[in-house]
Amino acid sequence: MVSVRGMLAVLALTLSNTASAFFVFGQQLYTAPAVTWTGGDINIDLPIQLQSCRGTSIGSGWFSCGWFQQVEEYTLEATEFEFISWEGAPSIEMSRVTYQQGANSLLIKDGSTIPDTSTTLLNPGNWQQVTGNVSVKIYTADLQGRQPGDYQAVLRLKGMESGGLIPYTAFSDIIYDLTIPDRIQVSGLKDIALSDQSLQGGMNFCVYTQSGADFTLRATGANNAFLLSGQVGYQLKVGQGGSMELLTPGVDGQPWSGSTQQYCGGGSNMDLEVTVPSSELSGLQPGVYKDTVTVTVSVQ
């Protein structure tokens, strides 16, 4: 008698927790709202979408994210922090870049420091698509003195899930457009009081121009002349660095150099001097004589 004994082989497939993982950005290209600098710091916040989950992107079958329905930690990096000028001016660096998503807070750039974030694990909190926020800041100090014109930056994001036999890596670009206008501002003008014992007075003030461009100054009295109460003539001089010029009412004077700092950083860059010739006092009745001077500055 011949007998045959057989054994049923048991095949087992064991999946580790990192057997499959998936990562993708909601869009490969985002465009932030265009910004025109009007003074102060620039803050640009932009929401982005991403998905990081255990599984694959293939439908809702076995081993897909929808089957596991579990989150997968991910990493996020960024490069290309420069705003490039269309006119060839020196580039402008993003001063600070941060990322926030749920409980995750990530510092991507701070001044000249660009930390390595490739090993920082972020938990999306949901296996489905979630929304994070990329914040870009440019400080006033990094904008003052810059050449007017249009600038553009393309911030490149790199995201990757932390597990999986074949890691999923995705890229997304964010386009930022920045305009720096040719700005000019006069500040620090104030009243000047004169008396018959002191027929001369003066003050310091500030003229700011973007990139320090030259400007001209025009002064006009209330009656299109330099007259106190329409009766007493006076002279008006302006200057810079010890050099002064006598102004003609309503006429542009010579070019002067603007300050690259608003309000001259708390100081001044222009001098103004008013003088009433003593001959103008002859025959005047006692009283107060006034005039209002309008100062107009123009970029050259």
pLDDT band for position 60 (50/70/90)? low
CATH placement of domain 21-180 = 2.60.40.60
Q: Which two tokens stand for residue 54?
A: 């255990």
Per-residue pLDDT averaged across 143-164, rounded? 92
Three-state secondary structure call for residue 128:
coil
> Cα-atom radius of gyration of the chain, to the nearest Å?
34
21-180 matches 184-299 in fold: yes
Q: Which two tokens stand for residue 56?
A: 């694959």
Long-range contacts of 120-125, Cβ-Cβ distance < 8 Å, separation of 24 or more:
120/75, 120/76, 121/73, 121/74, 121/75, 121/162, 122/73, 122/74, 122/75, 122/76, 123/71, 123/73, 124/50, 124/51, 124/52, 124/53, 124/71, 124/72, 124/73, 124/74, 125/71
Percent of the chain with pLDDT over 90: 71
How far does the chain reach from its first CA to its final CA, in angstroms? 115
d(CA 272, CA 294): 13
Three-state secondary structure call for residue 151:
strand
Confidence at residue 203, expressed as pLDDT on a 0 to 100 scale:
94
| Range in 12-16, 114-118, 127-131, 213-217 with the lowest mean pLDDT | 12-16
- The enclosing H or E element of 66 equals helix 65-68
- The model carries a pTM of 0.74
Vertex 249, ends 222 and 212: CA angle to 5°?
A: 105
For the cut 60, the answer to whether the pLDDT of residue 17 exceeds it is no
Per-residue pLDDT averaged across 230-236, rounded? 94
Fold observed for domain 184-299? Immunoglobulin-like (2.60.40)
Residue linked to tokens 């749920």: 102
Q: What is the pLDDT of residues 81-126, one digit of tens each?
A: 999 998 889 999 999 999 999 999 999 999 999 999 999 999 999 9
Confidence at residue 206, expressed as pLDDT on a 0 to 100 scale:
96
Q: What are the residues whose beta carbons fall under 8 Å from the beta carbon of 197, sequence distance 6 or more?
A: none
Nearest residue to 184 (alpha-carbon basis) of 218, 150, 207, 217? 207
d(CA 120, CA 13): 32
Q: Domain boundaries in the chain?
A: 21-180, 184-299
The mean of the pLDDT values for the chain is: 89
